[in-house]
């Protein structure tokens, strides 16, 4: 399933809803067209319910597309649609589940407040694990894999720390005790200008 994201028109400021795969922003109010692009991945944030908190964003790799693989003498393929955590951090979920489809996402921009944890896992490793799970085949029986993605992006889960606990800022619920989390898991890596640029 795809999801929608909101982006303000650079001309008049009106909020515009877009499909995650659209890169052409067409404002229905002022009729201005803008092209969105990003150097590596498009980046999105889930909305949170903790406006007064110091938000920390944890990255998730979003991939939707096809995996083709050669098994024996057969060419097979699977369609996969995943969000997988992009760093090793205790207590946060491995997947975002249905949140990206159920909630209105926003593009990360230089004005997005908060600290962003660094995406430290390799995208290829995440996709390889997803391929193994979807194919149900032992690794030594696969001779080649190819990934054709309809979309690949980063989605950030908002978190915050309060009274020595890590909280999910979407639900305002504690996830785990901070003393059990390793120090400095990459906090302080600002996304800033890596949000979508408009041309």
Q: pLDDT tens-digit profile of 58-106? A: 999 998 887 777 777 777 777 778 899 999 888 899 999 888 888 888 8
* 27 within a domain of the structure (yes/no): no
What's the confidence (pLDDT) of residue 188? Answer: 45
pLDDT at 148: 73
pLDDT at 2: 66
For residue 189, the model assigns a pLDDT of 46
Find all residues with CB under 8 Å of 142, minimum gap 6, and list them: 69, 70, 71, 131, 135
Rounded to whole angstroms, how far apart are CA atoms 173 and 159? Answer: 10
Tell me whether residue 9 is in a domain.
no
**Residue-number span of the structural domain to which 54 is assigned:** 39-194
SS3 182: coil
CA distances in angstroms from 165 to 117, 168, 177, 179, 188, listed in the order given: 17, 10, 4, 8, 19
Ordered per-residue pLDDT tens for the chain, 199 residues: 567 788 888 888 888 888 877 778 888 899 888 888 777 788 999 999 898 999 999 999 998 887 777 777 777 777 778 899 999 888 899 999 888 888 888 888 888 889 999 999 888 888 777 767 665 555 556 666 676 777 788 999 999 999 889 999 999 999 988 775 554 444 444 444 345 555 5
Q: Please tell me the predicted confidence (pLDDT) of residue 1.
A: 55
Tell me whether residue 108 is in a domain: yes
Entry pTM: 0.77
Q: Is 53 contained in some domain?
A: yes
Q: Per the domain annotation, does 190 fall within a domain?
A: yes
Q: What is the DSSP letter of 130?
A: H
Residue 30 in domain: no
Is 185 inside any structural domain?
yes
Q: How many domains does the chain have?
A: 1
Q: Domain for residue 28, yes or no?
A: no
């Amino acid at each position: 399933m795809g999801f929608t994201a909101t982006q303000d028109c650079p001309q008049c400021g009106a909020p515009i809803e877009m499909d995650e795969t659209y890169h052409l922003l067409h404002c229905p109010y002022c009729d201005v067209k803008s092209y969105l692009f990003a150097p590596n991945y498009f980046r999105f944030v889930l909305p949170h319910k903790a406006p007064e908190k110091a938000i920390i964003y944890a990255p998730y790799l979003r991939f939707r597309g096809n995996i083709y693989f050669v098994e024996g003498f057969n060419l097979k393929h699977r369609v996969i649609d995943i969000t997988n955590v992009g760093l090793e951090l205790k207590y946060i979920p491995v997947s975002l589940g249905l949140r990206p489809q159920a909630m209105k996402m926003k593009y990360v921009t230089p004005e997005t407040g908060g600290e962003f944890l660094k995406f430290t896992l390799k995208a290829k490793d995440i996709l390889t694990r997803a391929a193994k799970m979807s194919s149900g085949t032992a690794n030594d029986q696969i001779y080649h894999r190819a990934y054709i993605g309809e979309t690949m992006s980063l989605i950030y889960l908002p978190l915050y720390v309060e009274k020595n606990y890590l909280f999910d800022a979407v639900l305002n619920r504690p996830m785990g005790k901070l003393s059990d989390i390793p120090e400095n898991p990459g906090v302080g890596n600002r996304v800033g200008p890596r949000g979508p640029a408009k041309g």
